[in-house]
Amino acid sequence: MYILFEGIDTCGKTTQIELLKQEFKQIIFTKEPGATEFGIKAREILLSGSIQSKKAELLLFLSDRAEHYEEVIKPNLNKTIISDRGFISGISYALANEDFDFDTLLKLNRFSLEDTMPDKVILFQTNMQTLQQRMGEKTLDGIELRGLEYLLSVQDYMISSVQKIRLNYIIIDASDSVENIYDKIKEYIKDEQ
């Protein structure tokens, strides 16, 4: 069972994953980018804001995705895997950059994942007010510095992408309480435990 946690920065994905880690020791937890040796280096480059070419940025994300799939996802498909981000983020950030079309991005991501789609997607949805508050409490990386409107457009692309691909997904209101969100997530994934 391959589950993606998707959402823009500060939406609460990491908080919920940390809670799940404490309760479900048998689940394999991973993330994109940064779960492999290559991914750690790729993440540093991607978050530094040093890449000028959107194509280069996309190809670096895809390279990390292919390596992550080969090292982490593929060998564990018989187990429950929860990934903090995945190809939905990849497609959505690229679409927000306005340089790419959906079908091309989907083909490239299917290639990177050997056509393996997630069984479930948990998509966190936030709003401008919550985003402003949470972004004000942290140091912004190169991608976050593109602005709140940019991040909210990424979120819109995430929602439309899971719908177009017809994935099994649930939308979580990121402004809800940590406890309520956790209960909803457990209910959604419990059949697989």
What are the residue boundaries of the structural domains of the chain, listed by start?
2-192
Confidence tier at 97 by pLDDT (50, 70, 90)? confident
The CA distances from residue 97 to 57, 77, 179, in Å, are: 10, 32, 34
* CATH 3.40.50.300, domain 2-192, yes or no: yes
27: tokens are: 């689940």
Phi, psi (degrees; rounded to nearest 5) at 28: -90, 120
The set of residues, in sequence order, having a beta carbon less than 8 Å from that of 142 and lying 6+ positions away, is 46, 47, 48, 49, 50
* Separation between Cα atoms, residue 33 and residue 186, nearest integer Å: 24
Contact predicate 84/32, CB 8 Å: yes
Residue 169: helix, strand or coil by DSSP? strand
Q: Give the pLDDT band (50/70/90) at residue 109.
A: very high
193 pLDDT more than 50: no
Q: Please tell me the predicted confidence (pLDDT) of residue 127.
A: 80
Q: Does the pLDDT value for residue 140 go beyond 80?
A: no
Give residue 135's pLDDT. Answer: 62
What is the pTM (predicted TM-score) of this model?
0.88
